[in-house]
Amino acid sequence: MEISVWIQYLIISVLLFFAVFYLYRILKKNFTPKNAKDGKPGCDSGCGCS
C-alpha cells in the first residue's frame, strides 16, 4: 500500500514540474523585449538610432 502512495506522489510531482516549466516558458516569452532579438535592446525602427 505504501508503494502506491509513493507512485502517486511521483506522478503528481512530475506533472507539477512540467506545468511550472511550461508556465515559465510562456511568461519568459511574453515578457522579453521584442527588440532584444535584433541585437539593439531598447531601440526600435522609429527611435532614430538605427
Tens digit of each residue's pLDDT (9 = 90 or more) over 1-50: 788 999 999 999 999 999 999 999 999 988 887 655 555 556 666 666 65
Domain assignment of residue 45, yes or no = no
Q: What is the pTM of this model?
A: 0.56
State residue 17's pLDDT score: 98
Residue-number span of the structural domain to which 11 is assigned: 2-33
Q: Is residue 14 included in any domain, yes or no?
A: yes
Q: Is residue 48 part of a domain?
A: no
Number of structural domains found in the chain? 1
Reported as half-sphere exposure (CB side, CA atoms, 13 A), residue 2 has a value of 0
24 within 8 A of 31, measured Cβ to Cβ: no
**E strand spans, the chain:** none
pLDDT score recorded for residue 45? 63
What pLDDT was estimated at residue 9?
97
Task: Tell me whether residue 26 is in a domain.
Answer: yes
pLDDT at residue 1, as a whole number: 74
Residue 49 resides in a domain: no
Phi/psi zone of residue 47: left (φ > 0), alpha (ψ -120 to 50 degrees), beta? alpha
Q: Hunting for cell 507512485 — which residue is that?
A: 7
